[in-house]
Amino acid sequence: ECLKKYGTRVYTQIIACFEALPLAALLNAGGQRFLALHGGIGPDIHTVSDIEGVLRFTQPDAKGSLCDILWADPVEPPSEQSPLARRNFLKSDLVGEFSPNTTRGCSVRYGYRAVCSFLRDNGLTLLIRGHTVQKEGICHHDFGQSSSPLVITVFSAPNYCDRYENKGAIMFLHPNGTYSSTAYMWVDHPWYLPRFQSAIEFSLPYLTSVASTLLGIFLKSFRRTHNKVEAMLAVLRSFKQLEEKRKRSDSVAVRPMYESLKKNNTSIGD
């Protein structure tokens, strides 16, 4: 979309600005410290200073600290809520330090002990991150071990990729160290033509077809009568017939086509 509307120069400048964004933010409120970052922590990230030392003006590899900050996920408890499934989960290595992130195909999943160590060693209360779609826009991760969350996922994009039908959420960190959140639904995209065409680009094939048809009628009539006036009258009659045909077919073809385009537009992704 950016390349189509604005060109390569604007696109590359946006990428350069994106790479310049900080990898994390350290927040202080009510005597507590909170670390906000996109994905999470990894085995080579032990302190906040380790994050400050990561070179961000580059594309991330499939592993390493930059990849972990952007792509790591907290371990998720099993969706099955049976006591046996919960016991097996709590006994497994998944709630420990780090494990391969097979869902993403890169980076790691960080568990309860890894998060506790990082929070303790850095004097932090909470990790705040995004990166993972949440049905209600926000998720509190306690790893089945803690009475309060150690990690909170805040996902601000509602109906992600136009297919998840999830809510978006915003988290508010208050001066006294407490926090709250609000969730919101999505709205439909503004209507636009396929492939972001302009009205001229979209109409040109139709106009070319009509012009070719009328020119053919003019030449055919002129060859038959050798009279320019008669040929022009034939063109005008044909144009009137085309216009009446278009009006008759409007409710049958044009409007369903418009609705189809509109439906397709609302399913194009992020």
pLDDT at 177: 93
Per DSSP, the three-state class of 77 is coil
Got the DSSP string for 5-73? HT-HHHHHHHHHHHHHS-SEEEEEETTEEEEEESS---TT--SHHHHHTS--SS---SSSHHHHHHH-E
CA 270 – CA 214 distance, rounded (Å): 43
Contact present, 33 and 60 (Cβ < 8 Å): no
Give percent of the chain above pLDDT 90. Answer: 52
Question: pTM for the complete prediction?
Answer: 0.71
Q: Give me the residues paired with residue 36 across strands.
A: 25, 128
pLDDT at 254: 44
For residue 79, the surrounding DSSP H or E stretch is: none
| φ/ψ of residue 74, rounded to 5 | -70, 150
pLDDT digits (tens, 9 = 90+) for 215-232: 888 888 888 887 878 878
The β-bridge relationship of strands 73-74 and 168-173 is: unpaired
Biggest distance spanned by C-alpha atoms of the chain = 96
pLDDT digits (tens, 9 = 90+) for 78-92: 665 666 666 666 565
* pLDDT band, residue 197 (cuts 50/70/90): confident
pLDDT at 215: 83
Per DSSP, the three-state class of 258 is helix
Distance of alpha carbon 33 from the chain centroid? 29
Per DSSP, the three-state class of 227 is coil
Distance of alpha carbon 24 from the chain centroid? 20
